[in-house]
Structure 1
Amino acid sequence: MATKKKGAAGGLACKTPESPSKTSSDLQALAGSVAEPMSQTTRERQMAQALNQDPQLVEDFLVEAREHLTNIEARLLEIEQGAQTRETLNSAFRSFHTLKGLAGFLEYNVIQEVAHEVESLLDLARNDALQLNAPIVDVVLQSGDFLAACLRSIELNKTKTEAPPMDDPAVLLERIRAAAATPQAVEATAQGELEERDLAAEMERTKAGAGEPSKEMSAAAEAVPAETTAGPKRSDASLVKIETGKLEYLVEMVGELMIAESMLHHNPDLGESRSPRVQRDLSQLARVTAEVQKTAMAMRMVPIGTLFRRMTRLVRDLARKSGKSADLELHGEEVELDRTIVEELADPLVHMLRNALDHGLEAPADREAAGKPATGKVRLKAAHQAGQIVIELSDDGRGLDRGRILAKAVQRGLVSAETNLSDSEVYHLIFEPGFSTAERVTDVSGRGVGMDVVRKHISRLRGRIDIASTLGQGTTFTLRVPLTLAIIHGLVTIVGGVRYIVPIFAVREMFRPTPERLFSVEGRGEMVLVRERLLPVVRLSRRLGVQAKSEDPCEGVMIVGESEDRQYCLLVDELAGKQEVVIKNLGPTFGEVRGVAGGAILGDGRVGLILDLATLFGGAEHAA
Structure 2
Amino acid sequence: MTAMDPAETFRTEAGELLDTTEQALLDLTHRLDSRDLIDTVFRGMHTLKGSGAMFGFDALAAFTHHCESAFDRVRKGQVPATAELVAVTLSAMDHMRALVVRSGDDHAAESAAILQRLQAAMGADSGAPLEKAPGHSVGTSTSNDSGDAGCDAPWHVHFRLPPEAMANGTNPLLLLDELRDLGATRIAALTDAIPALDALDPVQCHIAWDVELPAAVTREAIEDVFIFVMDDMELLIERTSNAARADISEAGLPVATDMHAAVPAHATQGAGDGESSRPVKPAGESVRVPAERLDVLMDRVGELVIVQSRLAQLACGGVTGPAGELALRSISEEVERLANELRDTMMVLRMVPIAALFGRFRRLVHDLARETGKTIDLVTDGESTEIDKTVSERLADPIVHLIRNACDHGLETEEERRASGKPAAGQIRLCAQQTGGEVLITIEDDGRGINRERVRAKAEANGLIQPGQSLTDTELLQLIFEPGFSTAAEVTNLSGRGVGMDVVKRTIEGLRGQIDMVSEPGRGSTITLRIPLTLAIIDGLLVRVGGGNYVIPLSAVEECLELSLEQDIRSRGRSMIQLRDRLVPFLRLRELFDTGTRPDPFQKIVVISTGGERVGLVVDQIIGSHQTVIKSMSSLHRTIPSFSGATILGDGGVALILDVVQLVALGQNREEQLRAAG
Query: What TM-score, normalized to structure 1?
Result: 0.72
Counterparts of residues 416-495 of structure 1 (less than 5 Å): 416=466, 420-495=470-545
Q: Are 2:121 and 1:176 aligned?
A: no
CA deviation string 1:122-150 (max 9, x = no partner): 01111122111111112111110101112
Query: 1:325 offset after TM fit, Å?
Result: 0.5
1:470–1:273: structure 2 CA closer, same or farther, 3 Å change rule? Answer: farther
> What is the alpha-carbon distance in structure 1 between the residues aligned to residue 616 and residue 158 of structure 2?
69
Query: 1:400 offset after TM fit, Å?
Result: 2.1
Contact 1:362-1:397 at 8 Å conserved across structures: yes
* 1:212 alignment partner AA: N
Task: Please identify, of 367-376 and 502-511, the stretch whose mean Cα deviation from structure 2 is larger.
Answer: 502-511
Q: Are 2:383 and 1:333 aligned?
A: yes
> What is the alpha-carbon distance in structure 2 between the residues aligned to residue 467 and residue 202 of structure 1?
66
RCO higher in 1 or 2 (8 Å CA, sep ≥ 6)? 1
| Aligned match of 1:69 | 18
> What is the alpha-carbon distance in structure 2 between the residues aligned to residue 176 and residue 313 of structure 1?
19
Query: 1:283 offset after TM fit, Å?
Result: 3.5
Query: 1:341 offset after TM fit, Å?
Result: 0.6
| Aligned match of 1:548 | 597
Contact 1:464-1:563 at 8 Å conserved across structures: no
Query: 1:557 offset after TM fit, Å?
Result: 3.6
Counterparts of residues 337-352 of structure 1 (less than 5 Å): 337-352=387-402
Task: Please identify, of 116-125 and 606-615, the stretch whose mean Cα deviation from structure 2 is larger.
Answer: 606-615
1:215–1:596: structure 2 CA closer, same or farther, 3 Å change rule? Answer: farther
Q: 5+ residue gaps in structure 2? A: 129-135, 146-156, 173-223, 229-282, 312-319, 673-678
Query: 1:56 offset after TM fit, Å?
Result: 1.2
CA deviation string 1:274-294 (max 9, x = no partner): 965544444433332222222
Query: 1:586 offset after TM fit, Å?
Result: 4.2
* 1:577 alignment partner AA: G
| Aligned match of 1:118 | 67
| Aligned match of 1:610 | 657
> What is the alpha-carbon distance in structure 1 between the residues aligned to residue 112 and residue 498 of structure 2?
39
Q: Are 2:417 and 1:367 aligned?
A: yes
CA deviation string 1:24-59 (max 9, x = no partner): xxxxxxxxxxxxxxxxxxxxxxxxxxxxxx971101
> What is the alpha-carbon distance in structure 2 between the residues aligned to residue 314 and residue 623 of structure 1?
42
Query: 1:460 offset after TM fit, Å?
Result: 1.2
| Aligned match of 1:572 | 619
| Aligned match of 1:518 | 571
Query: 1:562 offset after TM fit, Å?
Result: 5.4
For residue 549 of structure 2, the aligned residue among 494, 499, 502 is 499
Q: Per the alignment, in what secondary structure is the counterpart of residue 50 of structure 2?
A: helix
CA deviation string 1:482-504 (max 9, x = no partner): 11111112221212221111223
| Aligned match of 1:105 | 54
Query: 1:461 offset after TM fit, Å?
Result: 1.2
Counterparts of residues 84-163 of structure 1 (less than 5 Å): 85-154=34-103
> What is the alpha-carbon distance in structure 2 between the residues aligned to residue 404 and residue 67 of structure 1?
44
> What is the alpha-carbon distance in structure 1 between the residues aligned to residue 369 and residue 621 of structure 2?
55
Contact 1:465-1:480 at 8 Å conserved across structures: yes
> What is the alpha-carbon distance in structure 2 between the residues aligned to residue 411 and residue 204 of structure 1?
77
Counterparts of residues 391-406 of structure 1 (less than 5 Å): 391-406=441-456
> What is the alpha-carbon distance in structure 1 between the residues aligned to residue 400 and residue 496 of structure 2?
14
| Aligned match of 1:3 | none
1:411–1:330: structure 2 CA closer, same or farther, 3 Å change rule? Answer: same
Q: Which has the larger radius of gyration?
A: 2
Query: 1:246 offset after TM fit, Å?
Result: 11
* 1:61 alignment partner AA: F
For residue 213 of structure 1, the aligned residue among 156, 169, 175 is 169
Query: 1:113 offset after TM fit, Å?
Result: 1.3
RMSD: 4.2
Q: 5+ residue gaps in structure 1? A: 1-53, 158-162, 196-200, 224-241, 265-269, 521-525
1:98–1:419: structure 2 CA closer, same or farther, 3 Å change rule? Answer: same
Query: 1:370 offset after TM fit, Å?
Result: 0.7
Query: 1:181 offset after TM fit, Å?
Result: 5.2
Question: Sequence identity of aligned pairs in percent?
Answer: 36
CA deviation string 1:347-384 (max 9, x = no partner): 11101100110011110000001111100111111122
Contact 1:465-1:564 at 8 Å conserved across structures: no
Q: Are 2:372 and 1:322 aligned?
A: yes
Contact 2:54-2:171 at 8 Å conserved across structures: no
| Aligned match of 1:15 | none
Task: Please identify, of 326-335 and 590-599, the stretch whose mean Cα deviation from structure 2 is larger.
Answer: 590-599
1:618–1:384: structure 2 CA closer, same or farther, 3 Å change rule? Answer: closer
> What is the alpha-carbon distance in structure 2 between the residues aligned to residue 55 and residue 277 of structure 1?
44
Q: Per the alignment, in what secondary structure is the counterpart of residue 337 of structure 1?
A: strand
1:477–1:594: structure 2 CA closer, same or farther, 3 Å change rule? Answer: closer
> What is the alpha-carbon distance in structure 1 between the residues aligned to residue 592 and residue 506 of structure 2?
22
> What is the alpha-carbon distance in structure 2 between the residues aligned to residue 466 and residue 140 of structure 1?
38
* 1:124 alignment partner AA: R
Contact 1:397-1:473 at 8 Å conserved across structures: yes
CA deviation string 1:502-526 (max 9, x = no partner): 2234445544452575353xxxxx6
Contact 2:32-2:81 at 8 Å conserved across structures: no
> What is the alpha-carbon distance in structure 1 between the residues aligned to residue 506 and residue 494 of structure 2?
20
CA deviation string 1:297-350 (max 9, x = no partner): 111111111110100010111111111110101112121111001001101110
Name whichever structure is richer in helix by fraction: 1
| Aligned match of 1:528 | 576
Counterparts of residues 179-198 of structure 1 (less than 5 Å): 179-180=121-122, 182-183=124-125, 185=127, 190-191=140-141
* 1:518 alignment partner AA: S
Contact 2:287-2:350 at 8 Å conserved across structures: no
Query: 1:417 offset after TM fit, Å?
Result: 5.6
| Aligned match of 1:43 | none
> What is the alpha-carbon distance in structure 2 between the residues aligned to residue 505 and residue 202 of structure 1?
65
Contact 2:633-2:645 at 8 Å conserved across structures: yes
Contact 1:535-1:567 at 8 Å conserved across structures: yes
Contact 1:543-1:616 at 8 Å conserved across structures: no
Task: Please identify, of 445-454 and 165-174, the stretch whose mean Cα deviation from structure 2 is larger.
Answer: 165-174
CA deviation string 1:411-440 (max 9, x = no partner): 444345665544333322222222222222
> What is the alpha-carbon distance in structure 2 between the residues aligned to residue 587 and residue 170 of structure 1?
50
| Aligned match of 2:316 | none
Contact 1:466-1:565 at 8 Å conserved across structures: no
* 1:316 alignment partner AA: H
For residue 434 of structure 2, the aligned residue among 377, 384, 387 is 384
Query: What TM-score, normalized to structure 2?
Result: 0.67
The count of corresponding residues between Structure 1 and Structure 2 is: 518
Q: Per the alignment, in what secondary structure is the counterpart of residue 291 of structure 1?
A: helix
Query: 1:120 offset after TM fit, Å?
Result: 0.6
Contact 2:609-2:615 at 8 Å conserved across structures: yes
* 2:114 alignment partner AA: L
